Amino acid sequence: MIRNTFLAFLYSLVMRSFLVLIVGVKYRNREVLKKEKQFIIVANHNSHVDTMALLSALPSSRIRHVHPVAAADYFGSNPIRAFITKLLVNTILIPRSRPVDGEGPDPVQMMFDQLEKGESLILFPEGSRGEPGKLQKFKKGIALLLEKYPHIPFIPVYMSNMGKVLPKGDGVLVPFNSTVIFGEPQLANSCDLESIVAQVEHSVLSLRKDEHGLSKER
C-alpha cells in the first residue's frame, strides 16, 4: 500500500511535473489511458527517459498495475540494480531470448503471467534503443502476446525527440521540446504473427505522420 502510494506520487506529480515544466515534454491524447482497464502500451524507443515519460502519463490509480518490460541482463545486472529497478519503476526483468531445452525463465511466459493477473504492460518492440527518429524492425514478442490474448487492446505510442533529451550513452538530461503521442486502443485484427507485428508497427508509424495534427495536452 505504501509503495503504491509512493509510485503514484512519484510519477503523477513529481516526474510528470519535471518532464513537462523542466524538460519540455508534451503529452497528446493521454486521455485514452482511461478508456481501458487492461492494455499493452507499445512504443518506439530512443532513450531511458521513455519509460519515465510513459509511466508519468498514466492515471495515478493505474500506475501500480502497469509494468514496463526491460532486459534483465542490463537493468538486473546486479542484485541492487535489479531491486531498485523493480521497486521504483515497477519493472518486469526478462531475459532477451527464450531458454534452450527449457533451462531458465521464459520471457514470453513471464509476460503471459502478468497479463493473466489482469496487469498491463509497457513494451518496446524494437528491443533496444535505436537512433532518434528511426524506427527499427519490431520483434515478434508483441505478436505472441496479442495472439494469445486477443481481447486485450494495445495502445500505440510515438515519442519524438526523446533521444535528444537523454541520448544513448549519455547520463545527463538535456531540456528539449519532445512529444509523447498516444493512439487509440486497438485489438489485433489477425491471428497471424507477422500480420500482427505489421499492424502494431503501422499504428506507431501513423502517429509519427500525425505528429503535428493532434491537439496538445499537458
Segment 2-10 shows an average pLDDT of 91
- pLDDT of 212 > 70? The answer is no
Is a pLDDT exceeding 80 seen at residue 199? Answer: yes
* Radius of gyration for the alpha carbons in the chain, expressed in angstroms and rounded: 16
Rounded to the nearest integer, the mean pLDDT of the chain is: 87
pLDDT in tens, 161-191: 887 777 666 666 777 789 999 999 999 999 9
In the chain, pLDDT over 70 holds for what percent of residues? Answer: 86
Domain of residue 13, residue span? 2-209
Residue 215 resides in a domain: no
What are 32-46's pLDDT values in tens digits?
A: 999 999 999 999 988
- In a domain, residue 218? The reply is no
Residue 144 reports pLDDT greater than 90 = yes
216 inside domain:
no
Stretch 145-160: mean pLDDT: 96
Structural domain includes residue 158:
yes
**pLDDT (tens digit, 9 = 90+) per residue, 78-110?**
888 888 888 899 999 988 776 666 677 889 999
Q: How confident is the model at residue 135 (pLDDT cuts 50, 70, 90)?
A: confident
**pLDDT value of position 217:** 43
Please count the structural domains in the chain: 1
The answer as to whether 201 is a domain residue is yes
214 domain residue, yes or no:
no
Is the residue at 217 inside a domain? no
The enclosing domain of 156 has a CATH number of 3.40.1130.10
